[in-house]
Structure 1
Amino acid sequence: MARNKGKRSEGQYALMPYALLKSPAWRSLSGAAIKVYFELHARFNGGNNGRITLSYAEAAEALGMGKATVQRAYNELVEHGLLALEEPGNWYHRRAHEWRLTTKQMQRVRDAEPATNDWRKWRPEKTERGSDTDPSPSSVVPFENPKASLGSTSEPVSAKSRRSLGSETEH
């Protein structure tokens, strides 16, 4: 079998730097956003960054998702700094948005602009954690069974042993 020197038989592939894969921006993406990102990346040919097109309907069809899910995925990619809208589309002229992958450089007429890597600036929103955030008393497990209204005494809650769960036969 003859081998092609200098040519890859696999075709194009997507390089994913570890810095991106380990970033908070990437790790917090939804599965739908990751699918849309890779579909857009598959349309990048090395010279069309900033002019990559993929309509919501086309993405929904190709990826087996609803249009609303696709739209949320695009918004998520923009918010996380992985994607930027370069030229808005026009519904009446049937023209899709033109997108730029922030991880890739843009080719201009005379020179190239480096990748902006906006995803490096993204930080997750801080959320409150701890016991102060849920003051509802129902989230606490009581140490005793509730008192009966007929005057019987309460019993402490205790785990049952394995033996008492099934029927036992005496030997």
Structure 2
Amino acid sequence: MAKRHGKRPEEGQYAPLPYALLKSDAWRALSGPAVKVFLELHTRFNGSNNADLRLSYAEAAKALHMGKATVQRAFRDLQAKGFVVLVNKGNFYHRHAHEWRITTKGVHRVRGKELPTHDWRAYRPAKTERGSDTGHDRGRAVPHENPSGAARTELEPVKPVRGGPHGSGTEHL
């Protein structure tokens, strides 16, 4: 029997997620609902309908078992991080869903194909201060000296630990 290469017909379409995308700051900063909405939107891509991907908040909420407000926040998250672009705003009264473009896919036009814009590559996370970064000790988790005594007025040096958990024999602070 000959080896088959490629996907099996019963598998249908698939959504490739390159490592560059999965390891990006933008992808890792997405909320869980945003990832689900991105994948749902991607299932509507047929190879030539990018920029005409239709998915309403109500439809996404029903399909993904989420609230409409959660879906709306997920779309805002996807837009802010450069994964989707709103091409045409929907109209509730005329029953038209929003039309989206996935930035990881190209757009087919009458006169050729536009390449993917990969807007997510431009995303830069906001710098926030957390944990030991908030102190004035330049991010050191352990100060060079520990307070001693009941009044904590005298300082004594921190004793280095030798042969720590990694067995390196080096000093660990």
What TM-score do the two structures reach when normalised by structure 2?
A: 0.72
Q: Would the alpha carbon gap of residues 4 and 131 (structure 1) be closer, same or farther in structure 2, given more than 3 Å must change?
A: closer
Q: Distance in 1 between matches of 2:29 and 2:5?
A: 41
Aligned residues: 136
Which residue is 2:116 aligned to?
115
* Residue 92 (structure 1) shift: 1.6
Larger Rg: 1
Q: Distance in 1 between matches of 2:134 and 2:75?
A: 35
Gaps of 5+ in 2: 137-147, 151-173
Q: Deviations over 1:8-49 (max 9, x none)?
A: 331111111110000000011111000000000000000100
SS in 1 for 2:11: coil
Does residue 33 in structure 1 map to residue 51 in structure 2?
no
Which residue is 2:65 aligned to?
64
Does residue 132 in structure 1 map to residue 135 in structure 2?
yes
Q: RCO greater where, 1 or 2, for CA within 8 Å and sep 6 or more? A: 1
What TM-score do the two structures reach when normalised by structure 1?
A: 0.73
Mapping 1:10-25, distance limit 5 Å:
10-25=11-26
* Residue 5 (structure 1) shift: 8.7
CA RMSD of aligned residues (A): 2.5
Q: Distance in 2 between matches of 1:91 and 1:35?
A: 23
* Residue 64 (structure 1) shift: 0.3
Q: Distance in 2 between matches of 1:4 and 1:18?
A: 25
Gaps of 5+ in 1: 134-142, 146-171
Which residue is 2:153 aligned to?
none
